Copies of this chain bind each other. A is one copy, B any other.
Amino acid sequence: MARTSAEVEQQLSRLEIETPSWGYGDSGTRFATFSQPGCPRDPFERIDDAAEVHRLTAAAPAVALHFPWDRVDDVAALRRHAESHGLRIGAVNPNLFQEPEYKLGSIANPDRAVRQRAVAHLVECVRIATELGSTAQSLWLADGVNYVGQDDLRDRRERILECLQEVYAELPPEQQLLLEYKPFEPAFYATDLADWGSALLFCQRLGERAAVLVDIGHHLHGANIEQIVAILAAEGRLGGFHFNGRRYADDDLIVGSVNPFELFAIFVELGTELPRLTIDQAHNVEAKVEAMTLSVVNVQEAYAKALLVDRDALAAAQADGDVLGAHELLLDAFRRDVRDLCGRVRVAAGGVADPVAALRESGYAERIARERGSVAAVSAGGNG
């Protein structure tokens, strides 16, 4: 039996999305970063933007932070600033890819001193997370090699395991360690955590609070993401998502902008046991706060449609081997226009019916542009 509309709305109202502090700042490709007017000047202003997205959508009550990018002198003040906007701090994201020392890797680096430095940063992030009330370390490891033979792939795995074990030992009971995989970029021959299997093996060794984070854009062409999700969930190791959209590589576009049917299929697979859902995008050419708002709306709609699937009829058709009957039950849910339904849920939760339109009407973008000003474009080198 399909859920009633009331049941769908009730379930949908529980959806909580984390938006990323770094998604409000300037981003770009290796070719150029185009600065936008109104770009937040500090972590506090990033939280202000996140608060605006939550005000409109009523579904984005947490902000994921990135260190050292969100480093402030007074961590407690940052937490209070978030809470004063009705937000909490989401996952803490350490950064192991920018320092010159990490050129040949961080915790996989052949140089022990570099690995120790990396571990120290990870442990510091655990401490910061505790202060912020965060319940997860969300670690993307850029480590890898560019050339066959550059380093020993098995030795690198052992180094990583040893370092992660050190960090895991420091985790307080309320924090999870999320390991994010990615097939390539910045490494172009072998990335140490290249796929979900690689990440899962480390989690198995670390302990129960280690889980895999699935970034939509971190797969080879053709990978079936919802199937990976099903496996990780069945294994009790689905730690969460980084949502975005992609056609080619790790494009970091707006979630749902490339294949909304895939996003729907992921939510069908998840059912109502949702893990941590975080947006991770780079809004290089589009207005950032609007992009984030649209992203939250896209996720809400995908989840709403998934909730509308008649699960009993689906199970029956599947058991009968009725290939098209089962498939058509999903189509039936996907084809519906759920904008009104989602609008009602948002309004009931304190948000607005049409967040993107409301944002445009509010003049928020113009106001922050005025107040914060613009910075000059920062351009990176490199050639096509």
**Which residue numbers of A lie inside 8 Å of B, CB to CB?**
20, 22, 25-35, 66, 69, 93, 97-100, 102-104, 110-111, 140, 142, 145-155, 157, 180, 182-186, 188-190, 194-198, 200-201, 215, 218, 220-224, 226-227, 230-231, 233-235, 246-254, 257-262, 265, 268-269, 280, 282, 284-287, 290-291, 294, 301, 314-315, 318-321, 323-324, 326-330, 334-339, 356, 377-384
Contacts and interface: CB of A to CB of B under 8 A. Distances in A.
Nearest to A198: B231
A326 B28 contact: no
B314 A149 contact: yes
A29 B98 CA distance: 10
16 contacts: A22-B383, A27-B30, A32-B98, A97-B384, A110-B319, A142-B384, A146-B286, A149-B314, A150-B285, A180-B384, A250-B384, A259-B262, A280-B384, A286-B327, A378-B380, A380-B380
Given A27-B30, A28-B380, A153-B227, 13 more contacts: A110-B320, A146-B285, A147-B253, A147-B324, A152-B318, A153-B269, A185-B248, A188-B246, A197-B231, A200-B201, A260-B334, A280-B383, A286-B323
B285 A104 contact: yes
Nearest to A111: B321
Given A247-B222, A383-B140, A260 B257 contact: no
Contacts of A282: 382-383
Contacts of A99: 377
Contacts of A319: 110
A291 B324 contact: yes
A327 B253 contact: no
Contacts of A197: 195-198, 200, 231
A274 B372 CA distance: 49
A378 B196 CA distance: 31
